[in-house]
Amino acid sequence: MANSEVIVTVASWEPRFWLGFEKLVTAHRPSEVFMYFYAEYAGISEENREKIRVFCRESQITLHENKLSFSSPIESWRTLYITVSEGHMSNRSILVDITTMPRETIWILFDLFDPLKNRIRWVYNMPERYNTEWLSRDPDKPRFVPKMGGITTLGFPTTLLVLSGFDIERTRQMIVFYEPELILLGVQSGSQFENVSKNVERHSREFGKDPIVSLFEVDAYSRDQGLGVITAKINEHIASSNLVMASLGPKPSAVALYRIHKEYPQTGLAYAPSKEFNPNYSSGLGDCTCGEL
């Protein structure tokens, strides 16, 4: 029998979305599932969404399906706000599946759940492998996350914290757009998914010799998702600059940046959606990492 737990997720075409979802629901037996999907990828995510519909119907789990759009961030925020407000989620355990959830959506949902004072947990399923050619490309214009853009102090320089990923163009786009006086560039440590050659070495070659760039290593898969390392890196800049933060690497790093923003609400969370994702983005289901806010 289902319990009062709620699972919240964003649908994707990737195999790990369905495989991870099936594993989660089988283990947790929630009473309700809130599944969002993005209009821009509705066609290729439909097959997985239909699997979810059938699974929830056969398991007698109430499914709420809602559409979001990368091109309408304010409308998407309203949709998330309304569904959370009307979802009767107070005093219930909420499990947020961030596996294929855009970072902007992760941050908005965490922020909307915060006043509920519920038990909020998150889970991230790695794929078995990523596509070896390309994952995403053609980054869109960066933007601040609704309600989480921070507080700008006139006369203060801009410090940009970027946690890098495999798409070096998204990092460059952030730098060009915000024109910071200082760049704190965190690169994911470890050799998983060819990280050294596809992320660390590429970002070091491209930005390492720039005098305004301070490179450092961070492990998003560590126990605190890199929170301690990141906090130590930004401490000397919090009081004297406008700090903009962006997560482009492993999704758990977005959890660390959310915690920093809650501690220092004057910081801004920024997001730059990619205009194109590889239809064969990843394959299989790999290891799982999870935590609690």
**What is the band of 203 on the pLDDT scale with cuts at 50, 70, 90?**
confident
Mean pLDDT of 152-176: 91
- Per residue in 26-64, pLDDT (tens digit) is 999 999 999 999 999 999 999 999 999 999 999 999 999
pLDDT band at 201 (very low <50, low <70, confident <90, very high): confident
pLDDT in tens, 58-95: 999 999 999 999 999 999 999 999 999 998 888 789 99
Give the chain's mean pLDDT. 90
What does the pLDDT look like over 165-182, one tens digit per residue? 778 888 999 999 999 999
**Confidence (pLDDT) at 134:** 57
Domain spanning 6-130+282-292 has what CATH number?
Answer: 3.40.50.11700
Give me 232's structure tokens. Answer: 């130590």
Q: What's the pLDDT at 37?
A: 98
Q: Is 89 exposed, middle or buried (0-12, 13-18, 19+ CB in 10 A)?
A: buried
57 or 187, greater pLDDT: 57
If you count them, how many residues does the chain have? 293
Ranges of each domain in the chain? 6-130+282-292, 137-276
Assign 1 a pLDDT band (cuts: 50, 70, 90).
very low
Tell me what pLDDT residue 192 has.
64
Angle made by CA atoms 258, 76, 142, in degrees to the nearest 5:
60
Is the model's pLDDT at 253 over the cut of 60? yes
Q: In 124-268, where does DSSP find H-type helix?
A: 168-178, 195, 201-207, 227-238, 252-263
Mean pLDDT is lowest, of 53-57, 202-206, 261-265, for 202-206
Indicate yes or no: pTM above 0.75: yes
CA distance 262 to 111: 9
Domain 6-130+282-292 shares a fold with domain 137-276: yes
Q: pLDDT value at position 11?
A: 98
**What's the pLDDT tens digit per position in 85-122?**
998 888 789 999 999 999 999 999 999 999 987 889 99
Whether domain 137-276 has CATH 3.40.605.10: the reply is no
Res 191 pLDDT > 80: no
Cβ atoms of 248 and 167 within 8 Å: the answer is yes
List all residues 6 or more positions away from 223 whose beta carbon is below 8 Å from its beta carbon: none
Average pLDDT on 259-275 reads 94
